[in-house]
Amino acid sequence: MLKLNAAKVRKMAEICEKPEVSEKVKFILIQHVARNAGQHRREIWAERRTFSREAGILEAAMPTSFMQIAELKQRAKDHRRGELDQVENLLAGIGNMLLHDRGEAFEKIGLCTLLDLLSINSVHRHGLDVRDLDRGLADLIYVERLENSAERSSDRWGEGGPLFEACFAAVSNWLKTAPKEDLPDLFGPGSPFEGVQLVRVDAETLQ
């Protein structure tokens, strides 16, 4: 796996800025960066889970080892924090760019070429009309989750193709950082959870 760093990302950005580089090549480079960033992030997550498992094993076997257990749990939270923050920001940046596309990619690259690059299978291509894709790439990648549809193996929360995960990172970052007044009311009129009865749960119940 290519480990991403600031120098490599800048190099790819410089390539994308060259006037002779086609929009297709630029898109392939974006996919490449997103794919490697996602793999890099999963590697860090896996290492963090190792510390969490070790803490759980020690907690079950030696529950009085408070300091060692606390240290392992803290390592699970802090392990490679700087790298993870950089990768998360990179993915969110790519995701924001994709989510703000309103069909420009269809015009610059061509729909058929774009569908090939996204590995969207023939079943999902049938009857696909760009006029129905008001949000451009966001409709294909994030809303419909058609990226790599020929080989998609996971529909779990937050998991998908590299570009889907970049869009997911962008939305997650926005939800964490946007002012409260800018966030949608998920339980208000016309919202996905309109009319849902909320049940109060004490913190102790969740432990």
pLDDT digits (tens, 9 = 90+) for 79-130: 999 999 999 999 999 999 998 887 788 888 988 899 899 998 888 887 777 6
The stretch 43-52 carries a mean pLDDT of 95
Q: pTM of this prediction?
A: 0.80
d(CA 199, CA 207): 17
What percentage of the chain carries pLDDT values higher than 70?
82
Categorize the per-residue pLDDT at 205 as very low, low, confident or very high, splitting at 50, 70 and 90.
Answer: very low
Pick from 23-27, 64-68, 131-135, 157-161: least confident: 131-135
Nearest CA to 106 among 143, 133, 88?
A: 133
pLDDT at 200: 62
Nearest CA to 162 among 49, 40, 47?
A: 40
pLDDT at 196: 60
CA 68 to chain centre: 33
Categorize the per-residue pLDDT at 182 as very low, low, confident or very high, splitting at 50, 70 and 90.
Answer: confident
d(CA 81, CA 17): 30
pLDDT at 104: 83
Computed over every residue of the chain, the mean pLDDT equals 83
pLDDT at 155: 67
Categorize the per-residue pLDDT at 10 as very low, low, confident or very high, splitting at 50, 70 and 90.
Answer: confident
Structure letter (DSSP) for residue 147: T
Looking at per-residue pLDDT, the higher value among 14 and 199 belongs to: 14
Categorize the per-residue pLDDT at 191 as very low, low, confident or very high, splitting at 50, 70 and 90.
Answer: low
Domain locations in the chain?
A: 6-172
Q: Is 37 exposed, middle or buried (0-12, 13-18, 19+ CB in 10 A)?
A: buried
Indicate whether 207 pLDDT > 50: no
Pick from 39-48, 82-91, 137-146, 163-172: least confident: 137-146
pLDDT at 15: 82
